[in-house]
């Protein structure tokens, strides 16, 4: 089964610290590298002091731990081209709990931004992307694909319209290429397109208290009461713009600011949590990964990639309009819609037992005789996690042949050296509808 491209991010699997790739000087450092290292050291020392205060045997000999940040590369196979992201900041369980109870603050240096300016920007992009944005106004956002002529996905976009320009959030490692592709279609329109990824630092906030925290820090957060909304304003005295995008089953807000301001904004959020009754904590990829899988959010270049058609992505209804006019790749999309099911599609699976299958594990049809074992290979896992919300049950996304991908169907997966059965869900989200 086709997997995401060879340049897929390598950050969707928890890495053992002893086996983790070294983070070299050639790799782009996280915008919050020093702040996260400092936070982890302070937390380590705090835990040591708690042990000592408990007057336990040997407590006085306890030494402060070294930094607990687990850095992993995100990006192309060549590590020097990657950015470093924090898998966790010393306490993945606490970071996940912040997402579910308060606010998890994640450094998202792996994300990029394309700026589209000019009076004709919306009309131009309407002819380019899969979503209908013809009536988009300032303060609104849309999710969409950018396709090539063969109908394959070149980028998964989050288009945010502000009063002076359109800013498109997408994976950093496709931003420059996509900006150039779009610019090639500009003729006499009043449109200017550029990769502005280096102009912004990026934080991702996830949790039920996100809007309350932003309001208390000075942002006009009532503008974000509703998914896919955008607002520009001030956070702790610094200019920023925010976009509501729920990905974990909780409120999600993406925050962009000048790189010179990201440290101050990050500190204001963490300090705000320490002074008040909101749980605010730095969160890494591991906590976000578990929460976004539970919430039914697949990722481009992780769960689907450039080899895939929109109908295979699992998010067709959220990215593609079948009522709009022409766009690049539309004929392929329309033909696939009229023909019915694609050859494969992304599906959500719930594993039986406690075994956890890893990304890349093959998915098999059950044996024809029903006596155990397995039949043909019908797909592969793209992401997986133990689900805290489901009693640590294994949950996963997998790209599966359509003939074997019906809701309720059973499949067999190799997990931790044994064969484990899994059930295909009707939807991608694992959380109850009221939560997700």
Structure-token match 């290979």, residue found: 377
Q: Which of 103, 99, 92 is nearest to 431 (CA)?
A: 99
**Total-model pTM:** 0.91
Does the pLDDT at position 251 exceed 70? yes
Domain boundaries, the chain: 23-70, 91-341, 343-431
Mean pLDDT of 3-22: 37
pLDDT digits (tens, 9 = 90+) for 43-77: 888 776 766 666 555 555 555 455 589 999 999 87
User: What's the mean per-residue pLDDT of the chain?
Assistant: 89
Q: Which of 428, 272, 262, 254 is nearest to 350 (CA)?
A: 428
**Largest interatomic CA distance in the chain:** 77
Distance CA 182, CA 163 (A): 21
Q: Which of 175, 346, 195, 196 is nearest to 256 (CA)?
A: 196
CA distances (Å), origin 58, targets 41, 47, 51: 21, 15, 9
CB 383 within 8 A of CB 247: no
Range in 38-42, 126-130, 318-322 the model is least confident about: 38-42
What are residue 336's DSSP bridge partners? none
Distance CA 135, CA 198 (A): 29
Sheet holding 192-195, edge to edge: 141-147, 153-161, 166-171, 111-117, 192-195
Distance CA 282, CA 264 (A): 14
**Statement: 343-431 belongs to CATH 2.40.30.110:** yes
CA distances (Å), origin 96, targets 87, 91, 104, 292, 362: 12, 9, 7, 11, 28
CATH architecture observed for domain 91-341: 2-Layer Sandwich (3.30)
Q: Which of 1, 4, 2, 3 is nearest to 300 (CA)?
A: 4
Does the pLDDT at position 216 exceed 80? yes
Q: Is the dihedral of CA 207, 29, 302, 386 positive or negative?
A: negative
CB 379 within 8 A of CB 365: no
Distance CA 366, CA 374 (A): 5
Does the pLDDT at position 82 exceed 60? yes
Structure-token match 């793209």, residue found: 382
Does the pLDDT at position 224 exceed 60? yes
CB 141 within 8 A of CB 159: yes
Distance CA 11, CA 18 (A): 16
Distance CA 291, CA 13 (A): 14
Q: Which DSSP letter does residue 18 get?
A: T
Distance CA 287, CA 96 (A): 5
Q: What pLDDT is recorded for position 46?
A: 79
CB 85 within 8 A of CB 75: no
- Kindly report the length of the chain: 436
Does the pLDDT at position 396 exceed 80? yes
Residues 6 or more apart whose CB falls under 8 angstroms from that of 183 comprise 193
Q: What pLDDT is recorded for position 54?
A: 63
Q: How many CB atoms lie within 10 A of CB 162?
A: 17
Residue 291 belongs to what H/E stretch?
helix 285-294
| End-to-end Cα, the chain, rounded Å | 29
Instruction: Decide whether 91-341 matches 343-431 in CATH topology.
Output: no
pLDDT > 70 fraction of the chain, expressed in percent and rounded: 88
CB 116 within 8 A of CB 192: yes
Long-range contacts of 312-318 (CB under 8 A, 24+ apart): 312/342, 312/343, 312/344, 312/345, 312/346, 312/399, 313/145, 313/153, 313/346, 314/345, 314/346, 314/347, 314/348, 314/397, 314/428, 315/143, 315/428, 318/143
Distance CA 302, CA 125 (A): 25
Mean pLDDT of 120-126: 98
CB 106 within 8 A of CB 30: no
Q: Which of 258, 256, 232, 226 is nearest to 244 (CA)?
A: 226
Q: How many CB atoms lie within 10 A of CB 318?
A: 14
Does the pLDDT at position 300 exceed 90? yes
Distance CA 331, CA 334 (A): 5
Q: What pLDDT is recorded for position 417?
A: 82
Q: Can you list the positions of beta strands (E) in 38-189?
A: 69-74, 83-89, 103-107, 111-117, 141-147, 153-161, 166-171
């Amino acid at each position: 089964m086709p997997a995401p491209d060879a340049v897929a991010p390598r950050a969707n699997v928890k890495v053992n610290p002893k086996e983790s790739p070294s983070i070299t000087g050639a790799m782009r450092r996280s915008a919050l590298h020093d702040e996260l290292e400092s936070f982890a050291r302070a937390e380590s020392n705090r835990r040591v002091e708690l042990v000592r205060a408990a007057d336990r045997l040997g407590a006085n000999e306890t030494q402060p731990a070294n930094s607990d940040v687990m850095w992993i590369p995100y990006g192309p196979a060549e590590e020097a081209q990657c950015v470093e992201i924090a898998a966790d900041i010393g306490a993945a369980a606490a970071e996940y709990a912040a997402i579910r109870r308060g606010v998890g603050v994640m450094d998202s240096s792996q994300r990029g931004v394309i700026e589209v300016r000019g009076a004709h920007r919306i009309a131009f992009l309407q002819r380019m992307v899969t979503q209908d944005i013809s009536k988009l106004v300032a303060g609104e956002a849309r999710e969409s694909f950018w396709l090539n002529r063969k109908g394959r996905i070149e980028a998964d976009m989050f288009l945010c319209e502000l009063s002076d320009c359109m800013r498109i959030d997408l994976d950093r490692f496709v931003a420059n290429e996509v900006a150039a592709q779009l610019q090639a279609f500009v003729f006499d329109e009043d449109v200017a397109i550029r990769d502005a990824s280096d102009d912004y630092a990026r934080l991702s906030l996830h949790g039920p208290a996100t809007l309350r925290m932003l309001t208390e820090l000075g942002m006009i957060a009532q503008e974000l009461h509703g998914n896919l909304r955008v607002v520009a304003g001030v956070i702790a005295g610094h200019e920023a713009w925010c976009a509501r995008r729920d990905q974990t089953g909780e409120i999600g807000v993406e925050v962009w600011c000048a790189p010179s301001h990201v440290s101050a904004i990050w500190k204001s959020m963490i300090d705000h949590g320490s002074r008040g009754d909101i749980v605010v904590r730095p969160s890494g990829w591991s906590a976000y990964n578990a929460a976004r899988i539970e919430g039914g959010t697949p990722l481009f270049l992780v769960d689907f990639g450039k080899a895939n058609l929109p109908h295979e992505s699992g998010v067709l209804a959220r990215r593609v309009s079948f009522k709009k006019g022409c766009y690049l790749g539309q004929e392929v999309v329309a033909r696939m819609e009229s023909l019915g099911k694609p050859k494969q599609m992304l599906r959500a699976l719930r594993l039986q037992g406690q075994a956890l299958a890893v990304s890349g594990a093959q998915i098999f049809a059950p044996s024809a005789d029903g006596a155990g074992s397995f039949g043909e290979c019908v797909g592969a896992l793209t992401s997986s996690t133990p689900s805290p919300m489901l009693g640590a049950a294994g949950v996963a996304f997998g790209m599966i042949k359509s003939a074997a991908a019906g809701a309720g169907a059973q499949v067999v997966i190799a997990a931790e050296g044994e064969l484990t059965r899994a059930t295909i869900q009707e939807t991608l989200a694992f959380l109850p509808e009221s939560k997700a």
